[in-house]
């Protein structure tokens, strides 16, 4: 029987951002998600193919029930073995929404095939992070099937998280980065060593309801690999000119990973601007998330 979207929206119409984390087998997806859990104080729902694959410290577990692990900091890890529909239904049944949802895809999954779930009732797409093992990009004996799967995943990424660089010599490292530049020339690349637990929270969780509203982001820490900037757009702006204004504002900024802000055009309702890697989305600001206009909050990689 085909999955049916719920008739009524949960949480008074609020939409929770979803980040999909893809990457081929052994690339390091679980490690990245564990870094996110270790470095956040936010209630995040993590949907994985197998709950056991998230190696959560026993001291962090408040209780287990069924296919769900609830953590002491409010995070929840659920199994999605019965399909995305059942997993999202289970989240919608919770009286309080999570701040963010992170979905770990299987190693052979193509992110583009699951993107429609980013707009299921009560949720919205925040971005696709593809974890790429650098050594896989320079393997001489990799099968055509494996190479094709990895390259397809890379082309679908909003952000690439590069791992295993410590396994390469200087020449191999240069070759791996050159191949990435060919496959995804406009996609930001973040190295896993630089991201670390502190950076993972910024990398995977820009969205969510925070005291500053939908455009707010976590403050950078001393060891964060990112910098946060506030960029003002010119005023007044008409709705038709917002996209060009955003492009112009970001054109002079290097190494942009993400950007978000609320714009109030003179001829229409407020707009939510979201930029994730090479993807840009400008949409009407939902009523439950209404707030005054803001500058663009721009996250960049440190030089």
Is a pLDDT exceeding 90 seen at residue 178? Answer: yes
Mean pLDDT within 24-41 = 79
| C-alpha–C-alpha distance, residues 23 and 60, integer Å | 26
Q: Which of 66, 36, 38, 62 is nearest to 51 (CA)?
A: 66
Buried b (16+ CB within 10 A) or exposed e, 14-39: bbbbbbbbbbbeebbbbebbbbbbbb
Of the listed ranges 11-20, 109-118, 191-200, 225-234, the least confidently predicted one is 191-200
CATH 3.40.50.300 corresponds to the domain 11-204: yes
> Could you tell me the pLDDT band of residue 195, with boundaries at 50, 70 and 90?
very low
180 or 213, which is more confident: 180
Predicted local distance difference test score (pLDDT) of residue 67: 58
Q: Which residues contact 30 (CB under 8 A, 6 or more apart)?
A: 48, 53, 54, 55, 104
| Cis bond before residue 136 (omega within 30° of 0) | no
Predicted local distance difference test score (pLDDT) of residue 87: 80
Of the listed ranges 111-115, 218-222, 246-250, the least confidently predicted one is 218-222
Q: Please state the CATH superfamily assignment of the domain spanning residues 226-301 in this structure.
A: CobW-like, C-terminal domain (3.30.1220.10)
Mean pLDDT within 68-94 = 69
Q: Provide the whole-model pTM.
A: 0.75
Note whether 28 and 133 are within 8 A (CB): yes
Q: Which two tokens stand for residue 98?
A: 């999570």
Predicted local distance difference test score (pLDDT) of residue 109: 82
Is a pLDDT exceeding 90 seen at residue 36? Answer: no
Please, where in the chain does CATH 3.30.1220.10 lie?
A: 226-301
Please, where in the chain does CATH 3.40.50.300 lie?
A: 11-204
Is a pLDDT exceeding 70 seen at residue 139? Answer: yes
Mean pLDDT within 141-156 = 89
């Amino acid at each position: 029987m085909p999955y049916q979207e719920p008739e009524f929206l949960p949480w008074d119409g609020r939409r929770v951002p979803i980040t999909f984390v893809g990457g081929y087998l052994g690339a390091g997806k679980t490690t990245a998600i564990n870094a996110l859990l270790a470095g956040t104080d936010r209630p995040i729902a993590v949907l994985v193919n197998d709950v056991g694959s998230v190696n959560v410290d026993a001291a962090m577990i408040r209780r287990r029930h069924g296919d769900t692990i609830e953590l002491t900091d409010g995070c929840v890890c659920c199994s999605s073995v019965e399909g995305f529909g059942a997993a999202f239904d289970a989240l919608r049944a919770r009286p309080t929404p999570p701040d963010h949802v992170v979905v770990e895809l299987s190693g052979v999954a193509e992110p583009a095939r699951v993107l429609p779930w980013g707009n299921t009732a009560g949720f919205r797409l925040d971005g696709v992070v593809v974890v790429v093992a650098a050594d896989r990009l320079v393997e001489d004996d990799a099968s055509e099937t494996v190479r094709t799967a990895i390259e397809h995943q890379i082309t679908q990424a909003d952000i690439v998280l590069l791992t295993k660089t410590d396994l390469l010599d200087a020449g191999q490292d240069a070759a791996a980065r050159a191949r990435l530049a060919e496959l995804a020339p406009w996609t930001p690349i973040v190295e896993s060593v630089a991201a670390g637990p502190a950076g993972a929270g910024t990398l995977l969780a820009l969205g969510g309801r925070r005291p500053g509203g939908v455009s707010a982001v976590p403050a950078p820490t001393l060891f964060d690999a990112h910098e946060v900037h506030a960029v003002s757009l010119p005023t007044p702006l008409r709705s038709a000119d917002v996209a060009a204004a955003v492009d112009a504002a970001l054109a002079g900024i290097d190494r942009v990973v993400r950007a978000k802000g609320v714009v109030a055009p003179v001829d229409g309702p407020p707009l939510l601007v979201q930029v994730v890697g090479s993807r840009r989305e400008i949409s009407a600001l939902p009523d439950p998330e209404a707030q005054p206009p803001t500058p663009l909050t721009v996250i960049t990689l440190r030089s």
